[in-house]
Structure 1
Amino acid sequence: MNHTSQPLFNGAHGGIPPSYEMLKEEHEVSVLGAPSQAPVTTTVINIRSETSVPDHIVWSLFNTIFMNWCCLGFVAFAYSVKSRDRKMVGDVTGAQSYASTAKCLNICALVLGILLITVFIVILATGSLMVFQAASQLVKDNGGY
């Protein structure tokens, strides 16, 4: 068996290495020069993280207008405004404290408002039913229909 190495491609160049044309990036590097060995300086920028503190002002406004039982909605609105003021000043702890109080007052106002509205509807429906029964009994007693 005869093992002779033959070139994979037999081109016009035969044994001469091909000439490469210089790429644009290589040209720019050769013109600009190699990167310098200057010390690298870094800049650190500290960005204050914006802690999102909900002030519940919309909820408080809703409770002030529609569910203002025992003035809980108005007090919750006042605490919401205080929370927003503290947040604008940058006092995150104070803003969270006022927001927590506003949230508790809003929950109390909402629950109390829903309970009172439900009781009012039940009393109104029961009263209407009693009036209807009394009117129908009165009609029967007077020899009506």
Structure 2
Amino acid sequence: MNRTFQTFVSGAHTGVPPTYEMLKEEHEVSVLGAPQSSAPVTTTVINIHSETSVPDHIVWSLFNTLFMNWCCLGFVAFAYSVKSRDRKMVGDVTGAQSYASTAKCLNIWALVLGLFLSTGFIVLMGFTCLTLYQIIVKAMQDGRGYF
């Protein structure tokens, strides 16, 4: 410890024994020293809006209602999206977030299920058309002309 630090510590705490935290903090202050520039200190103000944006997923729900409405999941998601929008208009952010989360989950399930079932339907129709074509070709080759 240097000589200026000893006088700084002994002068700051007369009559009170210094603790380790006080000594460490004062040592850091004495090592860093005072600010080198005398420029005025500038402050920055950050405005935090109390309103949080809650997505209600109403467009996604409407799309799923119109195009991917397997098992009525799109319609149910649309109902929850409308409930979320109503809660947001009233000012109930927690309720709006809850309904929006449910609508998002239902939209994901409706989209995934819709894609799988639509793809499966297209593949099934492709195999059906191919099978019918093979039956017709075989009937024509056998001489059965009733097709």
TM-score by length of 1: 0.65
Match of 2:57 in 1: 56
Rounded to whole Å, the distance in 2 between the matches of 1:58 and 1:49 is 25
* Residue 139 (1) aligns with residue 140 (2): yes
Q: Secondary structure at the match of 1:113?
A: helix
Q: Which has the higher helix share?
A: 2
Greater C-alpha Rg: 1
1:19-58 deviation line (CA, Å, top 9, x unaligned): xxxxxxxxxxxxxxxxxxxxxxxxxxx8742211100000
Alignment of structure 1 residues 65-104 onto 2, 5 Å: 65-104=66-105
- Cα distance change, pair 83–137 in 1 and its aligned pair in 2 (3 A): same
Deviation at 1:109, TM superposition (A): 0.6
Letter in 2 for 1:107: I
Letter in 2 for 1:66: F
Alignment of structure 1 residues 98-117 onto 2, 5 Å: 98-117=99-118
Unaligned runs of 5+ in 2: 1-46
Q: How many residues align?
A: 99
Q: CA RMSD in A?
A: 1.7
Rounded to whole Å, the distance in 1 between the matches of 2:129 and 2:56 is 42
Letter in 2 for 1:123: L
Identity over aligned pairs, percent: 75
Match of 1:122 in 2: 123
Match of 2:23 in 1: none
Letter in 1 for 2:124: I
Letter in 2 for 1:97: S
Letter in 1 for 2:138: Q
1:87-117 deviation line (CA, Å, top 9, x unaligned): 1111111100000000000011111111110
